[in-house]
Chain A
Amino acid sequence: MTLAADLPLWAALLIAFFLLIGAGLALIGSFGLYRLRNFYDRIHAPTLGTSWGTAGIILASVIYFSVVESRLVLHQLLIGVFVTATTPVTLILLSRAALYRDRVAGNPDVPLLHPLTTPLRTSSPENNPAAAHENTDEIKE
């Protein structure tokens, strides 16, 4: 609070707006992580905090340091680029690990690995329509 006395009013209002948007979205995301029932529901919730929560706080930081130092300060955008690039990677890896663990544990709520080709492989050739079609072609030739 040392440099904030000479801040203009519009800058203070913009900074407060973006700060409260960002922190509120992070709080909603963490509350969803605490509250939702299933893991696959829960993995969606913290992305509120990592998408627009981070963007709001970074915009507030950019506005604050640009106004206080009276030049354009953009190095906070590096955090935004980094978080935007890494969050989908971590969540894809984590959700695939969770899906693998659920399939190994035999959880009936998750889909199978190949839901279309697995019944065809286990069925007999007489009941398989694709194989029957191949047989008729051979008879015609």
Chain B
Amino acid sequence: MSATILYWSVTLAQIALGIAMILALIRMIKGPRAQDRVLGLDTLYSNGMLLMLVFGIGTGNSLYFEISLIIGALGFVATVALAKFLMRGEVIE
């Protein structure tokens, strides 16, 4: 019973996060300006991080936690660098 509940909730959460990643990807592709694309990339990163955490619950493997921490750190650095580039035209001045 508890295994069934866990299986279906993990599957539904994976489907919802997959749809969320597709919506962020659509906004990143067709976003009218550059800041919309950067915001779509940031949302894609955070949704991928959450999807890795849900994978970790589904498989019972603690390795996915480290993958999701790396994705979060890389998403932060990427968004900060892109915002700096949009502001100044240079990343490192």
Contacts and interface: CB of A to CB of B under 8 A. Distances in A.
Given A1-B6, A12-B1, 17 more contacts: A5-B2, A5-B3, A12-B5, A16-B5, A19-B57, A20-B13, A23-B16, A23-B20, A23-B54, A26-B20, A27-B19, A42-B36, A61-B53, A79-B69, A90-B79, A94-B82, A96-B83
Q: Is the interface of B mostly helix, strand, loop or mixed?
A: helix
Contacts, number: 184
Point out which of B6, B26, B27 has the most chain A C-beta atoms below 10 A from its C-beta: B6
A33 B40 contact: yes
A119 B35 CA distance: 30
Per DSSP, are chain A's interface residues mostly helix, strand or loop, or mixed?
A: helix
B20 A60 contact: no
Contact of B27 (A7, A33, A49, A101): A33
Interface in B1-33: 1-3, 5-10, 12-14, 16-17, 19-21, 23-24, 26-27, 33
Given A19-B57, A96-B87, A82 B40 contact: no
Interface string A4-28: 1101110111011001101110110
Contacts of A100: 87
Contacts of B58: 1
B47 A26 contact: yes
Given A16-B5, A22-B50, A97 B35 contact: yes
A4 B16 contact: no
A30 B21 contact: yes
Interface of A: 1-5, 7-9, 11-13, 15-16, 19-20, 22-24, 26-27, 29-31, 33-34, 39, 42-43, 46, 49-50, 53-54, 57-58, 60-61, 64-65, 68, 75-76, 78-79, 82-83, 86-87, 89-90, 93-94, 96-98, 100-101
